[in-house]
A = this chain, B = another copy of it.
Amino acid sequence: MTGSVWTRTPAQPPPREALSRAQVVRATVELLDEEGLAGLSMRKLGAKLSVAATTLYWHVQTKDDLLEYALDETYAEIDVPDPGLAGWRGAATLFAHSMRSTVIRHPWLPAVVNSRISIGPNAMALSTRAMAIFRAAGFTGRDVDNAASAVISYTLGFVASEVSWRTMVKESGKPVERWTEEAMAQAIPAAEAFPEIKDLLELRASSDPYAALNESFTFGLESLLDGFAVRLGP
């Protein structure tokens, strides 16, 4: 490991190579969106760009670098409102929801997001703005960091599981209701020894799953922000 792509100085001066790498990164994000992390290979990416796989190694040192670029690219889609406009609580809420929908748009993000230190330009801009929210709330020193981490951890944790559910449903090719039904049929015999679980499963299956996800996400987020409010005093 010689360092992050963001710290290595470019070996070639960028006459028009910058544009070309941007193309590669854009194609990477597209391929990831279409086929998932497991579906990304240098050969397929090459094919998508009508280029041999090995050509990509001119623009990028390794497949991991590619993911690092793709990751920072998507950070740009998360918007972090100014707390001056929406208030800290509104800003935090919008931020979390924007993060959630970005991850839903790019379901491969959870698998990639923690695998490297994020010091790309968009990551930097994002943290700067996120910190501003919690500073505006009244937190100081290390607590600014702690509050931001809590919201990000909760959001990523929640949406990682949401996205894997969504992916399973989508890959099954079945309508949600059918999928849910069949999943229930699998789970119920397995839950025979746990009677309380059965009630829970039936409760879960009885409502629109997407609405339930929204409600559940909001429940946790609001609780967390309520907890911040307690800490911040009256």
Which A positions have Cβ atoms within 8 angstroms of B?
1, 3-4, 6-7, 110-111, 114-115, 117, 119-121, 124-125, 127-128, 131-132, 141-147, 149-150, 152-158, 160-161, 163-164, 168, 172, 183, 186-187, 189-191, 193-194, 196-197, 200, 203-204, 207, 212, 215-216, 219-220, 222-228, 230-231
Chain B residue contacts of A189, Cβ below 8 A? 7
CB within 8 A of A157: which of B142, B156, B215? B156
Complex CA–CA separation, A194 to B31 (angstroms) = 32
Q: Is the CB of B150 within 8 A of A203?
A: no
Copies of this chain held together in the complex = 2
Give the top 5 A-B pairs by smallest Cβ distance, nearest first. A157-B157, A223-B227, A150-B220, A153-B157, A226-B227
Q: Is the CB of B226 within 8 A of A220?
A: no
Chain B residue contacts of A220, Cβ below 8 A? 146, 149-150, 153-154, 224
